[in-house]
Structure 1
Amino acid sequence: MKIEEIILFTKSIQKQKQFYQKVLGFELILESKEKISFKAGESIMSFQYDKKAVNASHFAFNIPSNQEKEALLWLQKRVQIIPDGDNLISDFKDWNAKAIYFYDADKNIVEFIARKNLNMGSYKSFSAKSILSISEMAIATTDIETIYNVINNIKSIPIFSGNLTRFCALGNDEGLFILVNNTVKKWHPIQEEAFTSNFIIKGDYNFSFENGEIKELL
């Protein structure tokens, strides 16, 4: 599943610009008073101004399959890593992947994930330019089954992992929707409450998620 662009909402355009451009070194490709966009490999990561309170989100970037250790060292010079217990790198054996977590300026939980099954290695020094694409967009909901049915009706999508009760990942190693029942599960690895947050996605699936409901973009 290809994710071409994710648009999140923020009250702090300038703080997010400072974080992604100056702290992480992402390439700024669009800037206005209402929206900023950054190159994220083959994807675009955007933030759109919203004067209302905005709940934090969770999303992930694919990084080279062999560079989780290099990414960790690079990130440690720039951000505070969110540990997974005693470990700074989460090991998802069932997914054949390893991941690192940190917060951005809006306290979104950002993940760098090295998926071994993609077999997309690199031997260049790690930087923001090493990011391959947006890998995951999480959806916190009280009704996973309904969200799954709506997405599947837009376009058929396989269940990658989990079930329709507590946690369900839809898609493939290239791109996933992470559906979380926020009445029984919290965000990994920090175990914070998973609030429902609005976003717009473009790519193989084109829709907005607003106030818990999906609306297809035509």
Structure 2
Amino acid sequence: MKITELKIYSPSIGQQQEFYSEVLGLKMLDRSVHKVSFQIGNSILRLEYKKDATPYHFAINIPANKDQDALLWLKSKVEILKDGTDEIIDFKAWNAKAIYFYDQDKNIVELIARKNLKNHSDQYFGADQFLEISEIGVATNDIESEYKTLRDVMDIGVYDGGFGNFCAIGDEYGLFICINKNRKKWYPTQDKAYGSD
């Protein structure tokens, strides 16, 4: 599954514009008082103003061999969200390594190097190595219902997990990360998971 465009809401468009364009160095596609959008590899991230917007979680694929380079690059720009002392999280079951950080709205942003994709790069790491948005978190009361809704509109299957607490739906290019918001919080911060708009 490809996530060509992701729209999320933000209470602070100006701060987010500065973060994504100046701190991360992403190409801004358009900007108005109430919205801004950025190119993230093959995907577009759109942020639209909403006064009471709550935080999201989303992930961006990076080349399979660039987790260490991405960490060094990020550490000069943002605070890394750790699991204990681990700055790079090794998801052995997914053959992937991930790094987490907050943007200006406390959205949990993840850079993930998926070894199965064999998309190695010999280029210096920077924002141009962001390949695509590959995950969006969906906090819900009923994971199975969310899955059935998704399956009804697209050819999609369960990648990992089940319908109790956590279910990843899709494939390594695009996943809906569904969690039961009454039983689980966002990893690695344990931030509250809010229902998505």
Scaled by the length of structure 1, the TM-score of the pair is 0.89
User: For 1:75 and 1:92, how far apart are their aligned partners in 2?
Assistant: 19
Unaligned stretches of 5+ residues in structure 1: 199-218
Q: Which amino acid aligns with 2:17?
A: K
* Corresponding position of 1:65: 64
Partner amino acid, structure 2, of 1:83: K
- 1:47 is aligned to 47
Query: Deviation string for 1:19-68 (max 9, x for gaps)?
Result: 000111001011112211101000001101123x1110000000001000
Native 8 Å contact 1:64 1:120 kept in 2: yes
Whole-angstrom distance in 2 between the partners of 1:76 and 1:41: 21
Structure 1 residues 101-147: Cα deviation after superposition (integer angstroms, max 9, x where no partner) = 00000000000000001100111110111100001001001110111
Q: Is the 8 A contact 1:137 1:177 kept in 2?
A: yes
- For 1:32, give the aligned amino acid: S
Q: Show the counterpart of 1:93.
A: 92
Q: Give the superposed CA RMSD.
A: 0.7
Distance 2:75 2:195 in 1: 29
2:161: which partner in 1?
A: 162
TM-superposed CA distance for 1:156, in Å, is 2.5
Give, as a single letter, the amino acid of the residue that structure 2 aligns with 1:7.
K
CA distance in 2 between counterparts of 1:98 and 1:193 reads 23
Deviations 1:166-195 (A, max 9, x none): 100001111100000011111111112211
* 1:1-20 alignment, distance < 5 Å: 1-20=1-20
Provide the rounded CA distance (Å) in 1 between the counterparts of 2:165 and 2:49: 32
- Counting aligned pairs with the same residue, the percent is 48
Alignment partner, residue 172 of structure 2: 173
Determine if the alignment matches structure 1 residue 23 to structure 2 residue 23: yes
CA drift at 1:159 = 0.3
Contact 1:54 1:197 in 2 (8 A): no
Partners of 1:6 and 1:124 in 2: CA distance: 26
User: CA separation in 2, counterparts of 1:22 and 1:179?
Assistant: 31
Alpha-carbon distance in 2 for matches of 1:38, 1:123: 24
What displacement does 1:78 show?
A: 0.1
SS in 1 for 2:145: helix
Q: Is the 8 A contact 1:65 1:114 kept in 2?
A: yes
* Unaligned residue ranges in structure 2 (runs of 5+): none
Distance between the aligned counterparts of 1:186 and 1:12, measured in 2? 23
Contact 1:182 1:194 in 2 (8 A): yes
Instruction: List 4+ stretches of structure 1 deviating above 3 A.
Output: none
Q: Is the 8 A contact 1:81 1:102 kept in 2?
A: yes
Whole-angstrom CA distance in 2 between matches of 1:30 and 1:118: 31
Quote the residue 1:188 is aligned against.
187
Match of 1:159, as an amino acid?
A: V
